[in-house]
Structure 1
Amino acid sequence: MKIVSTNIGDKKEIFWKKKKVITGIYKYPVNKPIFLDVEEVEGDEISDRKHHGGINQAVYAYSLKHYDYWKPLYPDLDWNFGMFGENLTIDNIDETKIHLGNTYKVGNAILEATLQRSPCFKLGIRFNNMKIVKQFWNSTMCGVYFKVIQTGTVQINDEFYQIKSCPENLTIADLLIRRKKEKGL
C-alpha cells in the first residue's frame, strides 16, 4: 500500500434541511507532508468530535481503487482526492483483508487499524446525493480508521509496511457489516 494523496479540510458551513451544519468533509489534496497526531491530522478540520477524530479515529484512509467504482456512478461530480473525507488516499486498501489491530509503519508514523467508516448524511451532502450513503453502507468499501501509535509525518509515495498482523480479529469489512446490522440497515 502506498499513499497517493494527503488530504486535509477546512471548516465549512452548509445548510441541510434548513439547518446550518458545520463540516470538515470537504477535504482537498496538499502537496506537502502532513503530521499525524494522537487524535487528529494536524491542520485538518474535525467539526463533529463526537463521531470523528479522537484516539481510535485519528486518521482516515480510503482506497484509490474504490474511486474507480464510484466515479461512473457519479460522473457529474468534480472528482479530486479527499472526496470521501479521507486524510490519506492509498493506492490499494482492501477492507476485507485488513484486520482490527493490524499495525503499519508509514513515513515516520506507526498506525493501527481500529474501525470502519460508518457513513452519515454529510457524505450525501458532499456527493450532492443522499443515495451514496445507502450505497456506501451496502458495500465493503468503507475505508479504514487508524489509531496513531507513534506520531509523525507522512507524504505522497510513502509505503505502508505491515509490522503486526492480527488474523484472529475481524476484518474492517466485517466491522462494517456488524455495524450495519446493529443499526438495522
Structure 2
Amino acid sequence: MTGRLAAVNLGTVTEAEWAGDASGRSGIDKRPADGPVPVRRDGLVGDFIAERAHHGGLDQAVYAYAEEDAGWWAAELGRAVPAGAFGENLTTYAVDVTGAVIGEQWAVGSALLQVTKPRTPCTTFAGFWGVPDLIKRFTVRALPGAYLRVLREGEFGPGDPVEVVERPAHGVTIGEVFRAMSLEPELLPRLVEATELPEQLREKARRRLAGTRP
C-alpha cells in the first residue's frame, strides 16, 4: 500500500480578521516547498503555526490531505484548490487518508509517522476560503484529512513514497472518528476501541456515550 507526496507545504504568516489567533495571525495558508523538508517531533521545520492552543503539538505535528479529495472540492466550488489550500503539510496522492486506520504507521521519506485523528473544521478555515457555510459542508462531506504524530524524525519532499508499514487490527478509521464526533453518534463505541486515538478524544467519546445512556 504505497502512494506518494504530491507536495510538502509550509505555513506562511497571514494577517486577517478571520484569523483565530488573538494576534490576528494564521498559518493556514501553506505553500509547497521546492525540496525536502526536515520534520521533528513537533512538526515541519519552517512551518508557521499561530494558534498553538488548537493547532500543532505532538498529536497534530503533521496534517495530511488527499489530492483526490481536494479535486472533489475544486469541482464542487468551481475553482482551483491548490496544494496547501486545506492548511495541510502533506498533499498525498494514491493514499486513502479518510480510510487510514487510527494508529497506522506511514514511512515517508526517512521519517516514520503515525495516524492520530481527523481534522475538525473551524471558522479560520471558512474565512480563509471565503465560504461562510464551509464548516457545515465540510462536515457533511466527511473528508477531513488526517493528523499524524512523528515517531521517527527525518525529512521528506515532493515525490517521496508514502508506505503504510503497520496497521492496527481494530480497524477504526479517520472517517469513522470524524463521523462519530459529528453526525453519526452511533459510531462512538468504536472510538473507545482505538487505543492509539489521543486520550482526550477517547474521553470525549466516553462522556458522550455516558450522556446518551438512560
TM-score, scaled to structure 2: 0.79
1:22 is matched by which residue type in structure 2?
R
> Which amino acid letter does the alignment assign opposite residue 75 of structure 2?
P
Say whether 1:25 aligns with 2:22: no
- 1:104 corresponding residue in structure 2: 106
Q: Describe the shift of the 1:133–1:53 C-alpha distance in structure 2 as closer, same or farther (beyond 3 A).
A: same
Kindly name which structure, 1 or 2, has the bigger radius of gyration based on alpha carbons. 2
1:179 is matched with 181
Is the CA contact (8 Å cut-off) linking 1:95 and 1:140 kept in structure 2?
Answer: no
Match of residue 6 from structure 1 = 8
Aligned AA (2:162): F
CA distance in 1, matches of 2:78, 2:98: 26
Verify the 8 A CA contact 2:102 2:117 in the aligned structure 1.
yes
Task: Kindly provide the CA deviation profile for residues 122-141 of structure 1, in whole angstroms up to 9, marking residues without a partner as x.
Answer: 11112111222211111221
Which letter maps to 1:67? A
Code of the aligned partner of 1:21: G
Q: Following superposition of structure 1 onto structure 2, how do residues 36-75 of structure 1 map, counting pairs within 5 Å? A: 36-75=39-78
Other-structure match for 1:159: 161
Cα offsets for 1:103-140 (capped at 9, x unmatched): 01110000000010111011111211122221111122
SS in 2 for 1:173: helix
TM-score (norm 1): 0.91
Q: Distance in 1 between matches of 2:97 and 2:169?
A: 13
Question: Given the alignment of the two structures, is residue 88 of structure 1 paired with residue 97 of structure 2, yes or no?
Answer: no
How many equivalent residue pairs? 182
DSSP 3-state at the match of 2:155:
strand
CA distance in 2, matches of 1:177, 1:144: 13
Structure with greater helix percent: 2
Partner residue in 1 for 2:150? 148
| Paired residues of 1:14 and 1:20 also in contact (CA < 8 A) | no
Give the share of equivalent positions with the same residue, in percent.
29
Secondary structure of the corresponding residue to residue 138 of structure 1:
helix
TM-fit CA distance, 1:92? 2.9
Q: Higher relative CO (CA 8 A, sep ≥ 6), structure 1 or 2?
A: 1
User: What is the CA distance between 1:163 and its match in structure 2?
Assistant: 1.6
Stretches of structure 2 lacking an aligned partner (at least 5 in a row): 186-203, 209-214
5+ residue gaps, structure 1? none
User: What is the CA–CA distance in structure 1 between the aligned matches of 2:84 and 2:98, rounded to whole Å?
Assistant: 21
How far apart are the structure 1 equivalents of 2:163 and 2:112? 9
Counterpart residue type for residue 153 of structure 2:
T
Runs of 4+ aligned structure 1 residues displaced above 4 Å come to 181-184
